[in-house]
Amino acid sequence: MKGLVLAGGLGTRLRPTTLVVNKHLLQIYEKPMIYYPLATLIGAGISDILVVTSPGQVDNFKELLGDGSDWGVVIDIVEQPSPNGIGGAILSCEDRIRDEGLCVILGDNIFTGHAMSIKLRQLINENGSRSYAFATSVTDSKSFGVVEYDDDTQKPIRIHEKPRHPPSDVIVTGLYLFRQGLFEILGGIRPSERGQIEITSVLNYYLKREQLSIDRLDQCGIGLDWFDAGTPLSLNDANQEVKRLADQRKYFGYPEVAAWRSGFIDAKRCHQLARTEKLKNSRYAQHLAGLVSIDGKTSDDDIGAEENEC
């Protein structure tokens, strides 16, 4: 199973800031935004990850992430030639991904704690044939892919992309687990009126053939929260929630800790990384050093230490 973090696009909703910096490099509390989705994938046991970004941004991501070896994983940075949708971004990586399964996460999606990683690991280990999307309810669903349910069976029957009149308040988050056949499906999808290869078209293809499960994250019962940090308001909300949890000594979104939990690096390596020159004098380093004890035990401050899967 490969992982794919989508960190491209123009970031128009966050302009003028994103005229000079990719939004996925913006700070969410004490770490860059992209650390959160990376930690979600690494915590799920995914060690081979592609990061797709926009033209001119590859060097910035390489400077921040390197090749992943510090975390015991492989990270490859790929340039998406044009902003032609999530489907287009996935297609730009076709030559680097065998049709063996792919976990895709949007770079501005933040899942609090480690429950999402645990859930993904469980689904990956099942080694089944179904694909998965993950949904939650929101107060204003018009800006998302909205799930329509059958009135009688209450089963999902279609996903509508940013509808004027949403059929429900349940939306699909930016996290998808695809099995075999993805690129064949993408190759047959026509661009939308926006000129994009819409991910909803892919999801509806699987859904129509009863090959897609839509899991409700807001019905897990373990307080799993999700943020789309792609607008000024949601970016601020994400910052405030992460800080609120940190004030309670509940920390998450550290790729180093996720790598340790997955067995890619040991506790000693975590502490070595916290003492590197590039992290010197940072709150990030202070917290990182306290999350994993040198004997390899998880600190009680690790928000996911006792979480179960959804």
Greater model confidence, 271 or 127:
271
- For 45-70, write each residue's pLDDT tens digit: 999 999 999 888 899 999 999 999 99
Nearest CA to 42 out of 259, 232, 251, 252 is that of: 259
pLDDT computed for residue 109 by the predictor? 94
- Let me know how long the chain is: 310
Percentage of the chain surpassing pLDDT 90?
42
Contacts of 49 (CB under 8 A, 6+ apart): 2, 3, 4, 5, 38, 41, 42, 68, 73, 74, 75, 76
CATH of the domain at 98: 3.90.550.10
One-letter identity of residue 21 = V
The answer to whether residue 283 sits within a structural domain is yes
pLDDT computed for residue 296 by the predictor? 53
At 151, list the tokens.
């009135």
Looking at the structure of the chain, the number of domains it has is 1
The answer to whether residue 36 sits within a structural domain is yes
The answer to whether residue 124 sits within a structural domain is yes
Q: What domain range is 233 assigned to?
A: 2-133+172-291
pLDDT band of 107, cuts 50, 70, 90: very high
The answer to whether residue 103 sits within a structural domain is yes
The answer to whether residue 90 sits within a structural domain is yes
Element (H, E) at 145: strand 145-149
pLDDT computed for residue 203 by the predictor? 95
Greater model confidence, 192 or 35:
35
Measured CA to CA, the distance from residue 15 to residue 21 in angstroms comes to 10
The answer to whether residue 74 sits within a structural domain is yes
pLDDT computed for residue 34 by the predictor? 96
pLDDT computed for residue 171 by the predictor? 93
The answer to whether residue 194 sits within a structural domain is yes
C-alpha gyration radius of the chain: 19
Task: Evaluate if residue 306 carries a pLDDT over 50.
Answer: no
Task: Evaluate if residue 304 carries a pLDDT over 60.
Answer: no
Task: Evaluate if residue 308 carries a pLDDT over 80.
Answer: no
Phi, psi of 48 (to 5 degrees): -120, 105
Q: Cβ distance 176 to 132 under 8 Å?
A: yes
